[in-house]
Amino acid sequence: MPAKKYATWVAVAFVAFYVINQPDGAAQSVENVAGGLASAAGSLATFVNALA
């Protein structure tokens, strides 16, 4: 169990380091993820509507 806790802290530290050193890159990454999720949701909605 401690390994999972350490891995979580390492991931949080990496994200904080990335945001502090590359705020523009971090913002772009979040935008890309949000765009991907929106695209996936739109595709799923199209699929469900086609079933009806």
Q: Which alpha helices (H) appear in 1-52, and where do they start and end?
A: 2-21, 23-51
The model's pTM: 0.65
What is the rounded CA–CA span in Å between residue 16 and residue 11?
9
What is the rounded CA–CA span in Å between residue 13 and residue 19?
10
What is the rounded CA–CA span in Å between residue 23 and residue 6?
25
Report pLDDT for 3.
Answer: 87
Q: Read off the tokens for 12.
A: 């949080």
Consecutive sets of 10 residues in the chain, 52 residues long: mean pLDDT of each? 88 92 93 97 96 86
